Amino acid sequence: MVRFVLIVKLGQENGPMRPFTPHPPQIGPEISKQRLLSGNYSFISDSMTATEKILFLSSIIPFDCVLTVRALGGLLKFLSRRRIGVELEDYDVGVPILGFKKFVL
């Protein structure tokens, strides 16, 4: 739930008040990249080494595009916090991700 904080414009004592929503903390590209690389995905076998996993994921996800990496990291963070059905599973079970689809406009 977004909490609104009312602030008054400087220089107007009795002027109109406007709602202010604080911006969420920025999701850094390195943290997002680490979140992407450390995830357990069903389409990646457990026998793959870390280097093979990085090569496979870099063929799907463009790690040189900072906005894409940050968006995916933020999405994974959101899904892990807002997961439906968590009360039916153990706490340490991750979000099941079946695959990544890339759309280019």
Reported confidence tier of residue 9, pLDDT bands at 50, 70, 90 = very low
Q: How many domains does the chain have?
A: 1
Question: Which residues, 6 or more positions from 27, have their beta carbon under 8 angstroms from its beta carbon?
Answer: 70, 73, 74, 77
47 within domain boundaries: yes
Q: Which two tokens stand for residue 27?
A: 């999701």
- Please check the confidence at residue 1 and state whether its pLDDT lies above 50: no
Q: What is the 3-state secondary structure (H, E, C) of 32-47?
A: HHHHHHCCCCCCCCCC
10 within domain boundaries: no
**Mean pLDDT over residues 82-90, rounded?**
68
Lowest mean pLDDT among 11-15, 48-52, 58-62, 92-96: 11-15
Lowest mean pLDDT among 13-27, 46-60, 66-80: 13-27
37 within domain boundaries: yes
* Distance from the Cα of residue 62 to its chain's centroid: 16
**Mean pLDDT over residues 38-46, rounded?**
86
CB atoms within 10 A of CB 93: 12
- The pTM assigned to this predicted structure is 0.64
Domain range for 64: 24-88
Share of the chain above pLDDT 90, in %: 9
Number of helical (H) and strand (E) elements in the chain, helices listed first? 3, 2
Reported confidence tier of residue 16, pLDDT bands at 50, 70, 90 = low
7 within domain boundaries: no
- Please check the confidence at residue 72 and state whether its pLDDT lies above 70: yes
98 within domain boundaries: no
Beta bridge partners of 11: none
Is residue 20 classed as helix, strand or coil in its secondary structure? Answer: strand
